[in-house]
Chain A
Amino acid sequence: MSGYFRTSYLQDTALLDTRAQKAWFGAFAIALCTYPFLAGPLWLDLGNQVLLASIGAVALMLLTGYAGQISLGHAGLLAAGAFTTGILSKEFGASPWLTLPASAAVGAVLGLIFGLPSLRLRGLYLAVSTLALHFIVIFLGGEYETRRGFSTGIVIEPPIGSARGWYFALLAAAAITLLIALNLLRSRTGRAWRAIHGREAVAEALGISVQRAKLSAFVVSSSLTALAGCLFAYYRGFVSAEAFSLYLTIQYVAMIIIGGMGSILGAVLGTVFVVLFPYAIDGGMALVGLSERLSSVVFAVNYSAFGLVMILFLVFEPQGLVGLWRRVQNWFLLWPFKQGRLLK
């Protein structure tokens, strides 16, 4: 044991409890703030992408990892936020201060709609109904594009010009999302979510309104996702229905699977992994000298490598990166005594 025991409720609910944790957190925060000054343009863009995707991944983690509601409609919700932003700023010239809350509101309404099937359906059938809703949202977005004559997509003016400015904006957004998620999870709502994940009948017997918990999970997760979609639209400066394919949903689901279900840290680790993965593959191919020969099919290489990695995680490491991380931690904590196996 580490020798740290909690002696009050205040300590029990603290986000950072030991001094060492606080010190590490401080160091990490400083590292995050100095990163944009050290990184080149490519790495800065990667950092931005990670921060942007982490908002959506944390939102999905709340819904699937904690409340246990399977959703395959994540890209549809991102698209809803992005299209709300695109339409409002194109048609009415709305500023981000209007489009952000509007996206969140649209996300909340859609979350209610996506969540309604969850009151009757579970597991597979729920996943399928959210998948169906995804196709309908994308269809409506595409329909708007063609009707208004933006057949290739809606171009919008990004409010922030520099990549470094974006970095700090996205960092703030990601930090706020993280804080919202952590605070929700240690409150009544979060406990209710975990309870319905465990077993609905027992949760009901404990006085938790299952319907309310499910719908609140969908609404919170969807409005956060739509916010991420809004930021995505501004960051890219471009909204198009093609960007929100089923593959995007799969990437988000992969983030929480690879990161580790039921852990916010997992969502963040998974995001880093999934966002950086294609670049790592590119780098690897350049290293082996294959990139010349395979340049026309790079996306196919990415596809197959991504599928393979996902299968490997599902089969060999269902706990995800967080499970790996915890085993490494325990290995060091217990050293030099009972040594578990680092890799299963």
Chain B
Amino acid sequence: MRGFLKTLFGDARHVGTVVVCVGAVVVVMHTPLAAAAGFLLPVALLAGAAYLARH
């Protein structure tokens, strides 16, 4: 089961990175900066991909 989930969604570091990025944007969407979410999420996810590439 663990292999199945890891194949589909990656390891804990990977899932955690995406959860942090999306979670941050969910918070931003509830602030006056919501209009910036369209720029924030792509940049955050690219940074996440770069982080995962290094680790």
Instruction: Decide whether A and B are members of one complex.
Output: no
